């Protein structure tokens, strides 16, 4: 049941993103004259896009990936809670009203605060941009640590569970 609800939210979010794209006041894109190399100049709010290192989008190339066998498994514990679908102008997100759960990374807890989708995907994998990308944004209790889990989406056949 939770799986079906998750994909219903995803479908609504994707539709809302398509509808809201026309109202986006910041004219950025992932390619062309307003592509990533120009983001820092498009709005004062995006100045950090041209000041930092390893800025978005990142190409996750297999030649750059380093396997760390010391990492433990990613333990997650999410629970149902009320949420609000939000048009963030540059993406569609979900903000949670209560505690929705957390993940534990190497003994440290990170609480899920919000999630949002990018269409198309913000990042690249092996030189390919996927159709969509989900970010699950987690913070430590004191807000000094952040953990973002990203999931890349491919177009494909309809999901039989959602189609029921």
Q: Would you say residue 11 has pLDDT above 60?
A: no
CB contact set of 51 (below 8 Å; sequence gap of 6+): 40
The answer to whether the CB of 16 falls within 8 A of the CB of 87 is yes
- Give the CATH number of the domain where residue 103 resides: 3.10.200.10
Distance CA 2, CA 7 (A): 9
Q: How confident is the model at residue 86 (pLDDT cuts 50, 70, 90)?
A: very high
Whether residue 37 lies inside any domain: the answer is: yes
Residue 56 forms part of a structural domain: yes
Residue 159 lies in a domain: no
Average pLDDT of the segment spanning 36-47: 79
Give a yes or no: residue 160 inside a domain: no
- Whether residue 164 is contained in a domain is answered as no
pLDDT beyond 70 at 128: yes
Q: Answer yes or no: is 73 within a domain.
A: yes
Beta bridge partners of 60: 125
H helices of the chain, where?
A: 2-20, 39-42, 48-51
What pLDDT is stored for residue 19 in this prediction?
Answer: 44
pLDDT at 116: 94
What range defines the domain where residue 129 resides?
2-153
Q: Grade residue 148 by pLDDT with cuts at 50, 70 and 90.
A: very high
Identify whether the C-beta of residue 45 lies closer than 8 Å to the C-beta of residue 52: no
Tally of domains within the chain = 1
Neighbour-count burial for 1-20, b at 16+ CB within 10 Å, e otherwise: eeeeeeeebbeebbeebeee
- What percentage of the chain exceeds 70 in pLDDT? 79
- What are the residues facing 74 on neighbouring strands? none
Question: So what's the pLDDT on residue 129?
Answer: 87
Cα(136)–Cα(148) distance, integer angstroms: 5
pLDDT surpassing 60 at residue 22:
no
């Amino acid at each position: 049941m939770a799986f079906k609800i998750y994909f219903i939210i995803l479908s609504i979010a994707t539709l809302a993103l398509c509808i809201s794209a026309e109202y986006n006041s910041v004219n950025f894109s992932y390619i062309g004259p307003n592509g990533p190399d120009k983001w820092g100049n498009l709005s004062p709010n995006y100045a950090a896009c041209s000041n930092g290192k390893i800025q978005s989008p990142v190409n996750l190339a297999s030649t750059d990936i380093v396997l760390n066998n010391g990492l433990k498994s990613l333990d997650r514990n999410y629970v149902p809670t009320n949420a609000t679908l939000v048009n963030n102008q540059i993406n569609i997100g979900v903000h949670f009203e209560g505690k929705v759960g957390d993940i534990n990374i190497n003994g440290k807890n990170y609480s899920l605060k919000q999630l949002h989708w990018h269409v198309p995907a913000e990042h690249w994998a092996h030189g390919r941009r996927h159709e969509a990308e989900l970010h699950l944004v987690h913070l430590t209790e004191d807000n000094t640590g952040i953990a973002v889990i990203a999931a890349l989406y491919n177009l494909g056949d309809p999901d039989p569970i959602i189609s029921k």
